[in-house]
Structure 1
Amino acid sequence: MQELRQLRDLGCMRLDRFQQGTVILQAGSRTHEMGIVVSGRVHIESNDLWGIRSILSNVETGGVFAETYAICGESLMVDAVAAADCEILFLSLLPLLDPKNSRESWHTRLMQRMLRLSTQKNLTLSTRIFCTSAKNVRGRLLTYLSGEAARQGKTEFDIPFNRQQLADYLNLDRSALSKELSRMRDEGMLEYRRNHFKLNKNET
């Protein structure tokens, strides 16, 4: 509690709320704050000049975003968008870069946490690259859904995307994705309803 008070006294913490669909941080801008998702979800998206969107990651409650940009000071290359009504705690990282705070009790803990977050973020991005490396629609779906089953430790689970968002995450056309899901269901590979999936193991 004392450490939290110290951070508040430094003026480096603020809480804000965003409605679903709101752009929290926009590509091209700069920030010295990282966002911590207190409630809701945030999508990290890439939107090109032609309006084509790719979802790079889904940040759940307790997750963080923009920490790398907050440290390096470079312009954002992505948008952070509220995927649901959410509450975000913004933490300025400028005190971390101030040598006079290096002996504070919270400083070492925050730096260790930042290292863990960086490692986790690299894993998240590597997972997406792995999911989109397959050359066909089925391959990408199988990679993603198998990965979710392994991550959640069960073959029946919910995913954090609707159909369009899943297509954006896997870099697929929504129609092609929906058709392939229907084929896989007809072949008995899986069952689904909206964002709920059940994978059926091959018994042969």
Structure 2
Amino acid sequence: MQQLLSEEIIKKYFKTIVKCPLFQNLGESELLGYLHNARVIVKEYRKNDFIALSGDPMEGIGVILEGSALLTRENVMGQRVIMANLEASAMFGEALLFSKQALWPATIKAMKASKIMFIPLETFIQTLPDCQQCQTKILSNLLEDLSEKAMILTKKVHYLTLKGMREKIFAYLTDIYTVQHSEELKLPHNREQMAEVLNVSRTALSRELGRLRDEGIIDIQGRSVSLLDLSVITEFGFNNN
């Protein structure tokens, strides 16, 4: 049920909401004005609850106020592929907002107890009191985010076009290096999730990571990876092909 946010929720989650890409470059007064006038849906989920199932109707853009979630999709072979890890302040579903058939194309599962704010289409197309300028900024942010997500999707396709396990790993590490700007990486995925992102088996992935470590190309401890031979690794990066 759509509702105005309570003062309690706004106060509790304001620092989280302001970090959401949808609200970047909004002044505090602008964002507060929007939050006080926008009718949204707020839902709570327990760990392992499904936030959305593939094929379900979409209620609006989701913003994670608390907790985390995993967005996945099964391919025709029944293999689960991780599309995105979603943490507090992240949003999802923006690509569907103006679709004529707004059905979730993927499954979203809560990885811990979570609270989600869904922002329906009406909030974007109806003029809110004293918020015309901030709505324009929000729509601009939405378009920018869609462009970034399109690039991420293109990179995932890039992984699939690489035939060798080593090339896939190098492309994956290069993308993270490009974001973190450090040869000491903190991986966003555990080993099982990384295998799903690259669409490879976990066993084969672990074996190849072990070889790369033995060859002195990387050092890996859990989710921490040191890039010891950057020139070799970045050869298969997205922008180098």
Give the letter aligned to residue 180 of structure 2.
Q
85, 94, 103: which one aligns with 1:67: 94
Cα distance change on mapping 1:4 and 1:114 into 2, 3 Å: same
Contact 2:59 2:118 (C-alpha < 8 Å) held by counterparts: no
TM-score normalized by the length of structure 1: 0.85
1:107-148 per-residue CA deviation (whole Å, 9 max, x = no partner) reads 212211111111111111112222232101111001101221
1:31 CA drift (Å): 1.1
Query: Which residue, 143, 159, 168 being the options, matches 1:140?
Result: 168
The answer for the alignment partner of 1:78 in structure 2 is 106
| Percent of matched pairs sharing the same residue | 23
Whole-angstrom CA distance in 1 between matches of 2:183 and 2:143: 32
For residues 159 and 194 of structure 2, what CA distance do their matches in structure 1 show? 11
Q: Aligned equivalents of 2:196 and 2:60: distance in 1?
A: 27
After TM superposition, list the pairs within 5 Å mapping 1:77-156 onto structure 2. 77-98=105-126, 104-156=132-184
* Secondary structure, aligned partner of 2:39: coil
Which of residues 84, 96, 106 in structure 2 aligns to 1:57?
84
- Please say if residues 39 and 119 of structure 2, whose CA atoms lie closer than 8 Å, have aligned partners that are also in contact: no
Distance 1:120 1:84, change over 3 A: farther
User: 2:158 & 2:231 partners in 1: Cα distance?
Assistant: 26
Amino acid at match of 2:97: A
Please state whether the residue corresponding to 1:30 is helix, strand or coil. coil
Gaps of 5+ in 1: none
Q: CA deviation at 1:49?
A: 6.5
Distance apart, 1:70 and its partner CA: 2.7
Contact 1:25/1:81 (8 A) holds in 2: yes
Distance in 2, matches of 1:71 and 1:24, equals: 20
Q: Give the Cα separation in 2 of the matches to 1:192 and 1:53.
A: 25
Structure 2: runs of 5+ lacking an equivalent: 1-28, 233-241
What count of residue pairs does the alignment treat as equivalent?
202
CA-CA distance at 1:202 after TM superposition: 6.2
Alignment of 1:186-197 (within 5 A): 186-197=214-225
Structure 1 residues 127 and 48: CA distance shift in structure 2, 3 A: closer
CA change 1:49–1:203 in 2 (3 A) is: closer
- RMSD over aligned Cα atoms: 2.6
Q: CA deviation at 1:22?
A: 2.6
C-alpha deviation, 1:155, in angstroms = 0.9
Which has the larger displacement, 131-140 or 59-68?
59-68
CA distance in 1, matches of 2:80, 2:160: 14
Q: Which residue of 2 aligns with 1:15?
A: 42
Q: Give 1:62 shift.
A: 2.6
Which one-letter code corresponds to 2:92 in the other structure? Answer: F
